[in-house]
Amino acid sequence: MKIILGADHAATELKEALKIFLHDEGAVVEDVSPSAPVAGDDYPDYAFAVAEKVVADPTGTRGILLCDTGIGMAIAANKVSGI
């Protein structure tokens, strides 16, 4: 299974730790967000990128979105048809 990760500046550190954990567990991991915090980045960009990749391969791909509360990421991702 392939796992797509996306995180804004509020969750970059957590995402990097999760990426290592998932890799160690044998998952194929793709990260669509920067590896270092970017002040003023726009979380919907990452949410849309992850959601679109999951929709493109719904049987073999899952997405994990991380931000400060998760609310904005969830709202943005759910705007992508097929999620």
User: Considering 3, 18, 47, 67, which one is annotated as catalytic?
Assistant: 67
**14, 7 Cβ separation under 8 angstroms:** yes
Distance of CA 15 to the CA centre of its chain: 8
* Tens-digit pLDDT profile for residues 5-43: 999 999 999 999 999 999 999 999 999 999 888 888 889
Q: Any idea what the CATH number is for the domain that residue 42 is in?
A: 3.40.1400.10
Token pair, residue 7, equals 């995180």
How many structural domains does the chain have?
Answer: 1
| pTM (two decimals) | 0.92
In a domain, 83, yes or no: no
Chain mean pLDDT for the chain: 95
Token pair, residue 20, equals 């290592």
**Farthest-apart Cα atoms in the chain, separation:** 34
Structural domain harbouring 54:
2-77
Q: Is 25 in the active site?
A: no
Distance of CA 27 to the CA centre of its chain: 14
SS3 at position 62: strand
**2, 31 Cβ separation under 8 angstroms:** no
* Tens-digit pLDDT profile for residues 54-81: 999 999 999 999 999 999 999 999 999 9
In a domain, 82, yes or no: no
Whole-angstrom Cα Rg for the chain: 12
